[in-house]
């Protein structure tokens, strides 16, 4: 019995408790590929390019899988690293490591701010009189507590958050199959696969619309790398990691492609309402009168799940930054310290306080516009970090640390540069749409200026 307890409390060389179980990581891996964008934004992306949106999801999913194989290979070689940013520092130098570490932490903070804003919107669906700032602070305190107690509690919360998303999508797919098999009648005709195949065009609204959907779909997959961060806190990272990554393609086909096929088979895509969630529409057709309230509950749990994961990630990244490049302020705030349960508590608390600023931003008139601009910029910065990760992987392959019998990325000499080219293509796509062009310019300015500063700061080190 005592041996079992010791095994459960095993720690990594950084002192973090390996308290996550295999089932936690596998479900985090599944749910991590499903964002709120699928539940709310599917109608908009379908309206741009019709059934060929499935091809966009598949192509983007393939390249995200290649990136995960590169990250997985490096983490397999050194499972004590709880963030892939460390490999950028190791193989591209301290300057790019510093740039990536802070850029990634700031991008995650903005992601957290967007999620906490979304949470208050979903709660106000039922309680419109409740002030948004109060809802945001209550959720932040609750989810910070989940993260502060122990990593196992975090894993358990994510397990159930993820389960809700998965059951909803499977429910939608099952509804779609039932409606097609029974030739179910809707206000726009009958549910049938012919709704997808009849008059199929690759670019029904022109090739520019098709290309524009890539950046929308890319951000639906954003934070897919999160599963790599969690594996270092499992008892057997080298066993858990390959399994979690290997199943990503199957998940993409089942959850994304399956859900989109179901939606478009039930309802002709040209008549899909853009301003209503297709999930709400499908469940309403199935006779579920409280469909809107149910989907609102699902997206609320999806946003809470994302926020929970963001707090987990930001805490560990800030802890790592304090370890690698400490400043007097970081040392004073004890950001490089772990709690008795092996959790980077001070780093999680500071990250939560910074995310809480969004509650104030939404109250101050005029500031929210600037906030949405910065959030859009952080999305572009994310792409730069992914590219640096792929370059670090190439350097790792040429280093003396290369582990020939590890979890190897296949045909890396071809697939690695191809993946980098795809990420550059997505970045260029940000300049094609009015809603993302300003963010793309902001991201470019940040990458150039902060990149130069980071290189100068660590020149010769």
CA 437, CA 121: separation in Å to the nearest integer?
26
Q: DSSP assignment of 369-422, as one string?
A: HHHHHHHHHHHHHHHHHHHHHHHHHHHHHTSTT--TTS-PPTTHHHHHHHHHHH
State both tokens at 139.
């959720």
CA 80, CA 95: separation in Å to the nearest integer?
22
Residues in the chain: 461
CA 222, CA 219: separation in Å to the nearest integer?
5
Note the pTM of the prediction, 2 decimals: 0.89
pLDDT at 370: 66
pLDDT at 154: 86
* Bridge partners, residue 234, by sequence: 20
Give yes or no for a contact between 317 and 105, defined as CB atoms under 8 angstroms apart. Answer: yes
Give the DSSP letter of residue 50: G
Q: What is the pLDDT of residues 421-458, one digit of tens each?
A: 999 999 999 998 888 888 899 999 999 999 999 999 98
pLDDT at 324: 80
Give yes or no for a contact between 143 and 307, defined as CB atoms under 8 angstroms apart. Answer: yes
Nearest in space to 223 (alpha carbons), one of 88, 45, 34 = 34
Strands 189-190 and 185-186: antiparallel
CA 19, CA 341: separation in Å to the nearest integer?
10
State both tokens at 422.
């795809």
State both tokens at 29.
């891996």
Q: Domains of the chain, with CATH numbers?
A: 20-455 (1.20.1740.10)
State both tokens at 28.
């985090």
* Element of type H or E holding 189: strand 189-190
* Element of type H or E holding 75: helix 53-77
Rounded to an integer, what is the distance from CA 98 to the centroid of its chain?
22
Intervals of the chain under pLDDT 70: 1-19, 29-33, 35, 365-373, 375, 461
* Element of type H or E holding 427: helix 412-429
Give the DSSP letter of residue 256: I
pLDDT at 100: 94
Query: SS3 for 34?
Result: coil
């Amino acid at each position: 019995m005592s041996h079992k307890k010791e095994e459960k409390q095993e720690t990594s060389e950084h002192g973090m408790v390996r308290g996550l179980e295999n089932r936690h990581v596998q479900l985090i891996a599944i749910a991590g590929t499903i964002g709120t964008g699928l539940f709310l934004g599917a109608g908009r992306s379908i309206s741009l390019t019709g059934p060929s949106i499935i091809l966009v999801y598949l192509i983007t999913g393939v390249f995200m899988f290649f990136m995960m194989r590169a990250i997985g290979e490096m983490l397999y070689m050194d499972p004590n690293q709880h963030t892939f940013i460390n490999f950028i520092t190791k193989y591209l130098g301290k300057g790019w490591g510093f740039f990536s570490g802070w850029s990634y932490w700031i991008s995650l903070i903005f992601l957290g701010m967007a999620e906490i804003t979304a949470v208050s919107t979903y709660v106000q669906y039922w309680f419109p009189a409740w002030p948004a700032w109060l809802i945001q602070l209550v959720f932040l305190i609750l989810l910070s507590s989940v993260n502060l107690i122990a990593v196992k509690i975090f894993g358990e919360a994510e397990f159930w958050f993820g389960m809700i998303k998965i059951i909803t999508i499977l429910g939608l797919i099952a509804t779609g199959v039932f409606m097609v098999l029974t030739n179910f009648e809707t206000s726009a005709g009958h549910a049938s696969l012919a709704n997808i195949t009849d008059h199929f065009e690759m670019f029904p609204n022109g090739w520019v619309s098709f290309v524009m959907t890539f950046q929308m779909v890319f951000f639906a997959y954003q934070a897919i790398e999160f599963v790599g961060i969690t594996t270092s806190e499992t008892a057997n990272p080298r066993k858990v990691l390959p399994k979690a990554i290997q199943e990503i393609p199957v998940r993409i086909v089942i959850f994304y492609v399956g859900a989109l096929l179901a939606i478009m088979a039930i309802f002709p895509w040209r008549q899909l309402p853009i301003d209503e969630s297709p999930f709400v529409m499908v469940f309403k057709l199935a006779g579920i009168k409280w469909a809107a309230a149910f989907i609102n509950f699902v997206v609320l749990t999806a946003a809470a799940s994302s926020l929970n994961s963001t707090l987990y990630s930001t805490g560990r990244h800030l802890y790592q930054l304090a370890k690698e490049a400490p400043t007097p302020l970081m040392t004073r705030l004890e950001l490089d310290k772990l709690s008795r349960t092996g959790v980077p508590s001070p780093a999680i608390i500071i990250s939560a306080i910074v995310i809480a600023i969004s509650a104030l931003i939404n109250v101050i008139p005029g500031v929210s516009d600037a906030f949405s601009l910065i959030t859009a910029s952080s999305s572009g910065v994310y792409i730069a970090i992914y590219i640096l990760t792929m370059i670090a992987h190439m350097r790792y392959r040429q280093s003396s640390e290369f582990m020939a019998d590890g979890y190897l990325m296949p045909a890396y000499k071809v697939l690695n540069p191809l993946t980098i080219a795809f990420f550059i293509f997505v970045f260029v796509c940000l300049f094609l749409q009015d809603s993302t062009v300003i963010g793309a310019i902001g991201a470019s300015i940040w990458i150039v200026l902060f990149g130069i500063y980071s290189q100068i700061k660590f020149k010769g080190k």
